[in-house]
Amino acid sequence: MEIFTPVNVCPITKQYFGQTPEGQSVYLYTLTNKRGMQSSIMTYGGIMITLKVPDRSGYLEDVVLGYPTLAEYLKTGNKPYLGAILGRYANRIANGRFTLDGVTYQLSINEGHNTLHGGIRGFDKRVWEAEELCREDAVGLILSYCSKDGEEGFPGNVAVKVAYTLTNDNELRIDYAATTDKKTVLNLSQHNYYNLAGAGNGDILGHILMINADYFTPIKPDLIPTGHIQSVEGTPLDFRKPTSIGARIHSGDLQMRYAGNGYDFNYVLNRTGHPMALAACVHEQKSGRVMEVYTTQPGIQLYTGNKLDGSLIGKEGKVYPQYGGLSLETQHFPDSPNQPHFPSTELNPGQIYRQSAIYKFSVLPK
C-alpha cells in the first residue's frame, strides 16, 4: 500500500535499541531538521522518546515525557502510553463491544470493563517497520504495521502507515493512512505528553491553553461518553479564551471528578471549512515556547496527566509529578462505534483512511 512516497531518501541517525521479549529487534531513529529541532522515535509502539525544540533564546530542550531505554518501556508496560501511536481505536469503547452489520465484536478489556487505546496489546506495543525520508523542506520517518483480522478482537486485516515529519518551519506533522479487507472501525492518534518548560521540569498547571471548541462530550464515572454534546459555557472546560490549565482544575465540578481531578475530555472542534483546522494553542511563559495544534479530525482529547503520581522516573532521572505533562490527542470521538450520532469511525474495503495533525512550535516575542 503506497500511501506516502519518500523523496530523495537520505541518511538519518539509526541505532539498535534492544529486543522485545519475542526477540524482535527495535531501532531508534533520530530526525533533525535544518533549524536544529530534533526528535527520536523507536520502532516499538512508534513511540516518540524525545522532541527537542528551541525556547525564546534558541536553547533546545526536550519537551515530551518518556523513558531513556526500551527496557523501561517494557518493564512498566508504558501504562501512561508515553509518546505512543494509539490504535486500532484511540480512547475508549464501552464494554469492549460494538456491532457492525449485525455482527457483534468483543474486544480485549484493559480498563475496568472497557477497552482503552486498542486493548491489551494495541499499536503502542507492536513493532513497526520503518522507512526514512528526506525532502528539501522536511525530514521524516514512515512507520508501517499490518494488524491481522481478529487482533484484540477487531475485524479485518488492516494495513497502517504513520508518518512523522519534522518540517523546517519547526512543525511536527503526523499523517495517518490505512486500508482494510473487511468492514471495521478505526481511530488513530498519538499520545505525546508535552511540557513546554521541559520534560521533568515541574507541572503544566501554569501553561496557558486555548481550545477551539464550543462543545465537549460529557462522560460517565467510567469515562465513557454519555452520548450528549454539551456546551463548555459556564464549565471548567471552557478554554475558548486562553486560560491557565490550573485555574479551574480543582473546581470540584462533577465532570472533573469523574476525569480524576483533572482534564480527560474530548472536545468537539469548531470547523471553519479548512481541512486542517486550528484545534488548540498552548504556551509557557518562562521559556516562551508556543505549540499550535491543527488537525483534520473532528475532536481533540485534553489529558493533563492526572494519574501521574511522582512514581514514574523518566529521562535524566527526572520525576514526572501529577500534571507533569499534557496530551492533546487529535481523534474521532470516544465510543463512536456505539454512538450512531457521533462522526463515524467505520472503514470499508476500498476506502483509504487518512487523517493528519500538525504540532507547530514557535516562541513568544521577547
Q: Would you list the DSSP string of 346-360?
A: EE-TT--EEEEEEEE
Confidence check: pLDDT of 2 > 60: no
CA-to-CA distance for 186 and 154, rounded, in angstroms?
Answer: 9
CA distance 240 to 243: 8
Give the active site residue among 151, 152, 191, 283.
Answer: 191
Q: Catalytic: 283?
A: no
What per-residue confidence (pLDDT) applies to 11? 61
Give yes or no for residue 7 having a pLDDT over 60: no
Give CA–CA dist 4/22, Å, rounded.
29
Mean pLDDT of 280-292: 98
Of 151, 152, 171, 329, the catalytic one is 329
Mean predicted confidence (pLDDT) in 40-48: 98
Distance between CA 119 and CA 228 in Å, rounded?
25
Scanning 150-237, the segments in alpha helix (DSSP H) are: none
Break the chain into its structural domains and give their ranges.
Answer: 13-363
Mean pLDDT of 305-328: 96
Residue 22's pLDDT is: 96
Fold of 13-363: Beta-galactosidase; Chain A, domain 5 (2.70.98)
The Cα 29–Cα 34 span in angstroms is: 16
Amino acid at 66: G
CA pair distance 120, 326, nearest whole angstrom: 23
**Which pLDDT does position 10 carry in this prediction?**
62
Mean of per-residue pLDDT scores for the chain:
95
Whose CA is closest to 122, among 72, 98, 158? 158
Query: Cell for 63?
Result: 519537551
Mean pLDDT, to the nearest integer, of 39-51?
Answer: 98
Confidence bin at 9 (pLDDT 50/70/90):
very low
pLDDT average, residue stretch 55-60? 95
The DSSP secondary structure of 79-140, one letter per residue, reads TT-TT-EE-SBSSEEGGGEEEETTEEEEPP--BTTBEETTSTT-GGGSBPEEEEEEETTEEE
Rounded-to-integer distance, Cα 64 and Cα 81, Å = 12
Query: How large is the average pLDDT for residues 283-312?
Result: 97
| Cα separations in angstroms, 293 against 68, 124, 228, 301, 357 | 26, 22, 25, 12, 7
b vs e for 247-273, b when ≥16 Cβ sit within 10 Å of the residue's Cβ? Answer: ebbeeeeebbebbebbbbbbbbbeeee
Instruction: Please confirm, yes or no, whether 207 is among the known catalytic residues.
Output: no
pLDDT digit string, tens, across residues 177-226: 999 999 999 999 999 999 999 999 999 999 999 999 999 999 999 999 99
Segment 219-239 shows an average pLDDT of 98
Percent of the chain topping pLDDT 70: 97
d(CA 348, CA 183): 5
DSSP type of residue 152:
G
Q: What mean pLDDT do residues 155-182 have?
A: 98
Phi (first) and psi of residue 48, to 5 degrees: -85, 115
Gap between the Cα atoms of 364 and 11, Å rounded: 33
> In angstroms, rounded to a whole number, what is the distance separating the alpha carbons of residues 20 and 16?
12
* Cis-peptide, bond into residue 354, ω within 30° of zero: no
Q: Is the pLDDT confidence value at 45 over 80? A: yes
pLDDT in tens, 67-103: 999 999 999 999 999 999 999 999 999 999 999 999 9
CA-based nearest residue to 210, from 141, 143, 131, 302: 302
